[in-house]
Amino acid sequence: MTACEREQREVEIIALYKGGLPVKRLLERFEISTTTLYPLLRRHQVPLRVVTRPESASRRAAAEYERLRSDGMFHYEIAEKFGITPNALYRAVRQRRATESR
């Protein structure tokens, strides 16, 4: 690949990234890895997208745990209500309590 072809390819990658093409599709289309893509974007000072993850069921359950327990629900019922395992709820509640106590 010549320098000119490489530059054209980079311009196309950047344009598609800015246009909103998902990173996974970019990686597949150009057969590159994230360790190639992100340095390219940084080198051209392209602002990276901020990915906001939806709040998980475990976090929502942990946030409501104390209220639901005081309403008389059992631990396993709360887990069932949010579609998670009792163990996942236990871990989420423990993590939430540890974060709140800081």
Domain residue extents for the chain: 3-43, 57-100
In whole angstroms, give the CA distance from residue 82 to residue 59: 10
Distances (CA, A) of 84 to 44, 56, 88, 96: 43, 10, 6, 16
Q: Which DSSP category does 53 fall into? A: P
Determine contact, residues 30/9, Cβ cutoff 8 Å: yes
Burial of 17 (0-12, 13-18, 19+ CB in 10 A): buried
Interval 55-76 mean pLDDT: 93
pLDDT tens for 2-57 read 999 999 999 999 999 999 999 999 999 999 999 999 999 999 999 998 876 678 89
